[in-house]
Amino acid sequence: MSTTADDTMKVLVYSDDANTREKVRLAIGRRPAADLPLVEIVECATEPKVHQWLASGEIDVAVLDGETQPAGGMGVCRQAKDEVYDCPPVLLLIARRDDRWLADWSKADAVVAQPLEPVAVADAVAELMRKRTATRLTA
């Protein structure tokens, strides 16, 4: 995929914890991999705003914190996958590796366990961006 200066992909980051949102934003950076376009981060701290953004069709990848209160990222992911037409791929942040089965239940496309490793987050987001691009090219 060739990119131009005008290319961007929107990545939604959902967490009630500003520190978690910042860690994800810093891990992704402006471009998580050289073969991908620039990233525009959209931060959300509330469930209604996440659903609004996902329904807008403007989000290319979503990163959801499974520990967010009162509506955790796992439930938000499951609802979005069931209800949002052309739902973007979702990276779910989980607190414990043992929560991976819950991430599977939520229909997440990728999972990263806490504590967040910046390279793991960037790699997972990059892979989901590639997946989203490929899906749009074949549609």
What digits encode the pLDDT tens for the residues 111-139?
999 999 999 999 999 999 999 998 877 76
Who has greater pLDDT, 13 or 137? 13
What pTM value is reported for the model? Answer: 0.93
Residues for the chain: how many in total? 139
Please determine, for residue 98, whether its predicted confidence score (pLDDT) is greater than 90.
no
Q: What is the token pair recorded at 56? A: 């807008």
In the block, tokens 């990848």 appear at 61
Q: What is the token pair recorded at 103? A: 């991430």
CB 111 within 8 A of CB 125: no
For residues 10-30, average pLDDT = 98
Q: Roughly how many angstroms between the first and final C-alpha of the chain, as a whole number?
A: 16
Domain ranges across the chain:
8-138
Domain 8-138, second-level architecture: 3-Layer(aba) Sandwich (3.40)
| Partners of 64 in beta bridges | 14, 92
For residues 58-66, average pLDDT = 97
Residues 39, 29, 123, 34: is their CA dihedral positive or negative?
A: positive
For residues 94-108, average pLDDT = 90
d(CA 85, CA 14): 19
The pLDDT, as a whole number, for residue 117 is: 96
